[in-house]
A and B are shown apart, each in its own frame.
Chain A
Amino acid sequence: MRRLLAKTIAALALTTALAAAPALAPSAAWADDTLDRGVGSEWSSLDPQVNFDAAAGLILMDAYEGLVTFGPGGKILPGAAESWEISEDGLTYTFHLRDGLKWSNGDPLVAQDFVASVLRTLNPETLSDKGYYFYSVVQIAGAAALANRETSDAATLGVTAPDDRSVVIRLAAPAPHLLNILGAFQIPPLHGPSFQANGAAGFTDPGKTVSNGAYMFKEIVPQSHVLLVRNPNYWDADNVKIPQVKYHVTEDVTTELKRFEAGEIDVTYDVPAAMLDKLAQTRPDELILSPATEVLYFDFNLTHEPLKDINLRTALSWAIDRETLMSKIVKTGAVPTYSYAGGFDPDYHGPQMPGAELTQAEREAKAQELYAAAGYGPGNPLKLTIVTTVAEDRVKTAQGIALMWKKVLGVEARVNPVERKAWLDSFYAGDWDVFADDLIGDFPGAETFLAYMRPSTEPGYNWVKPEFDAAMDKAATLTEKAARNAALAEAEKLLLDDMIFAPVAIESSRMLVSSHVHGWVPSALGYYNSQFLTLD
């Protein structure tokens, strides 16, 4: 029997070793000319017209270049287009492509490739939900009709290429933020011949993928990594300093931290919140905390009887000590906020929620009065359910708020954490009194947040406010940024005054950037193109 066992084991060992050998051959990842970056959990798609993930967006931003690109700090820079003009009415944008642009395989890059990309994104056959950038975030003429199958006539789309070097975008309504969504994440060009030959499968086969960015694909291993190498045909290839960029799947955030400490990863995707204090001591120069384009806010269910009372909602909002919550309880680096859409665009001067001008002690005192006036007290406490996602920091936030409500008002709040997908559905099911909401904006500006709250398009809040829609409609007609921001601020005042939610904090983006990486400038939107970085 021993002999038989030994033989079986030997045979199995040999087959397994042979089968796995090619996959496990050591690669050149440890070389110094590679920038190793974490991307969190695996990218959902490398198909540039389908991918919705911010993490995959990092990879796509390196591999493709849009009409504009985002430089250090998120500054909008000319990308494939060297210049552009905006018509007087703000509805027509004309982009002029650089001379001699090439794809990574040497093919000439033409304006039509940008049109093809938008058309493919909107084409129902592509099964992409990313078209919402073109019919919702901005309204490109004809985009909604194409996405909704009202027409399949490509000529009706407001993105056209009158010649090989001009892209014209016609909007149905002015959108000063259009330039913010013309990067490679939203509208990379599409290389027609390779797409026709390989279909979507070509985007994951490094031998077939053709891109136009500073880097091109060399290796794609699902669940493991994507290796990019410098694209010699990129127009600015001479200024791309780092020869290779490797994006590692770093699903487990504590493992990612250890890999950073071991030098296996140069830039992390995230940092464990529990380690922030320690890292601020041990690696002060490498820990980078900056505000993200994401707001955390707690919705009140306007269909539930007690919360129909605005005074009660105000009491709940005022009883939250946001500074203590973020600095003592949650400790993720998120910044307390008293507004909804402010704090992202320095040119936007929006309002704050009522009571923001008071001190926390004053707010709490008034909250107690309002709570008592609403008929609640020690013998008759308000009972609430807070629905949140299971993410540790979100649960902590909800528990912290429940605690403050208990301490200040005597409210009995129960925190109900559910997984993210259930959380998304729960919002519309309405089985909550308080919903721990968060919204990631599509660009660092007030409009992306305020547009989301429009009662006409977002029924989930059960907020009826024609005045808000009207204020947003008015803002949408304005082409001049300052005037538009002023109109948006009027709309936000209507929103905040109704206290339909309690704004809590602006989420932070947390990462570790090795001291060997230079040129890293924090950006709210989280685009950090490797082409602007250097490595020593």
Chain B
Amino acid sequence: MLRFVARRLWGGGLTLAALVTLTFFIMRLAPGGPFSRNRKVSPEVLENIKRAFHLDEPIWQQYARWVWGLLHLDLGPSTRFRDYSVGDLIASGLPYSLTIGFWAIVVAGLVGVALGIAGALRRNGATDYAAGIVGVIGIAIPIFVLGPLAQVLFALKLNWLPVGGIAAGWRSLILPILILALPNIAYISRLTRSSMIEVMRENYVRTARAKGIGPRRVLTGHILTGALLPVIAYLGPATAAIITGSILIETVFAVPGVGRHFVDAALNRDYPLVMGITILYGGLVILFNIATDLLRGWIDPRVRSHG
């Protein structure tokens, strides 16, 4: 098991290193720089500012400087948000992003599994159809459409929740969390349903029933343990989906998280901020994938030996 962990961590580290290196160099290929302006700023002044941010150095030297900073846990200053370092910006935004992301996963997991179970137990019943409809909506309609629709319905028409911002405390987070969870509820419920239907046909389930074990015990003790494996495997990709989703959700609902910086930083050529968020999000996705693998490996020995 330890060797398995070490192997996954090493692989994850290599992936992350490749990711940030590629990002660093590809980003510099885009035309324009952080201090491009159409103003009559004296060339000496511009040179001076570029020098202070080390933008005058050869690119490999900037890369080495960035890696050196990273080793000292210093992500550098933001060129767009001059009052803050990249570390400050991440520290201020991450609690919001994590709160939304975490609860979105919890909601997606609980509701998705519940809907899936209900659907599998009463196939083609009312709950199954309802779950199917939620699934189709969640998968087919992108969250940048669902978000504004939910704002119109719950904030403007019903007046239950705020449109955006964080001024209303936890009430502000309900819509972002639910909308972010919805596509994953859809996937997880479909996944649970099909995998349960499959497991319910397995011999060991029939044996358990034949032994006279009650339907409830069979469900929790026998069917679910097998049926939830693919769901757990999906948690890694789900994290990636939640992270990319949060970039849109934070913009639509005006949540001051980290995700909002992602696109903006690239557009503003804020190189250090792009790098900081890339390494953060890349690291999170890789870490969750490893954690998912570990969880699966622990439950299912086959993963351990083949992984």
- A interface residue numbers (CB < 8 A to B): 1-2, 9, 12-13, 16-17, 19-20, 23-27, 29-30, 41-42, 44-47, 50-52, 124, 127, 129, 131-132, 135-137, 144, 147-149, 200-201, 203-204, 221-225, 248-252, 254-255, 258-259, 261-262, 264, 418-427, 429, 439, 451-452, 457-458
A223 near B39: Cβ-Cβ < 8 Å: no
With contacts A19-B98, A124-B48 known, what are 19 further pairs, Cβ within 8 A? A9-B109, A20-B99, A26-B171, A29-B168, A45-B83, A129-B35, A129-B37, A129-B45, A132-B39, A135-B42, A200-B83, A222-B93, A225-B167, A251-B251, A251-B260, A255-B164, A419-B267, A421-B31, A421-B269
- Closest A residue to B53 by CB, please name it: A127
Chain A positions within 8 Å of B80 at CB level:
44
B166 near A132: Cβ-Cβ < 8 Å: no
- Closest B residue to A420 by CB, please name it: B267
Could you say which of B48, B95, B152, B269 contacts A127, with CB atoms under 8 Å apart? B48
B33 at the interface (CB under 8 A from A): yes
B92 at the interface (CB under 8 A from A): yes
16 pairs, CB–CB < 8 Å, chain A vs chain B: A1-B228, A2-B224, A29-B168, A44-B80, A131-B45, A132-B41, A136-B40, A136-B41, A201-B83, A222-B88, A224-B254, A248-B254, A261-B163, A262-B159, A421-B268, A422-B31
Say how far A530's CB is from chain B's closest CB, in angstroms.
Answer: 18
B45 near A264: Cβ-Cβ < 8 Å: no
A425 near B36: Cβ-Cβ < 8 Å: yes
Chain B positions within 8 Å of A12 at CB level:
102
A24 near B267: Cβ-Cβ < 8 Å: no
B6 at the interface (CB under 8 A from A): no
In the bound assembly, the distance between CA atoms of A201 and B88 in angstroms comes to 12
B148 at the interface (CB under 8 A from A): yes
Report if A16-B267 is in contact (Cβ < 8 Å); known contacts: A127-B48, A147-B44: no
B256 near A221: Cβ-Cβ < 8 Å: yes
Say how far B301's CB is from chain A's closest CB, in angstroms.
Answer: 14
B106 near A46: Cβ-Cβ < 8 Å: no
B151 at the interface (CB under 8 A from A): yes
In the bound assembly, the distance between CA atoms of A44 and B159 in angstroms comes to 33
Could you say which of A25, A135, A222, A420 contacts B81, with CB atoms under 8 Å apart? A222
B152 near A258: Cβ-Cβ < 8 Å: yes
B31 near A426: Cβ-Cβ < 8 Å: yes
Report if A425-B32 is in contact (Cβ < 8 Å); known contacts: A27-B167, A124-B45, A129-B39: yes
- Closest B residue to A28 by CB, please name it: B167
Say how far A121's CB is from chain B's closest CB, in angstroms.
Answer: 10
Query: Nearest 3 A-B pairs (CB), nearest first?
Result: A421-B32, A223-B256, A26-B169
- Closest A residue to B50 by CB, please name it: A127
From A144, A225, A262, A423, residue with most partner B Cβ within 10 Å: A262
Chain A positions within 8 Å of B167 at CB level:
26-27, 29-30, 225, 264
In the bound assembly, the distance between CA atoms of A25 and B32 in angstroms comes to 41
Could you say which of A200, A254, A425 contacts B148, with CB atoms under 8 Å apart? A254
In the bound assembly, the distance between CA atoms of A221 and B106 in angstroms comes to 27
Report if A44-B81 is in contact (Cβ < 8 Å); known contacts: A129-B45, A132-B41, A136-B40: yes
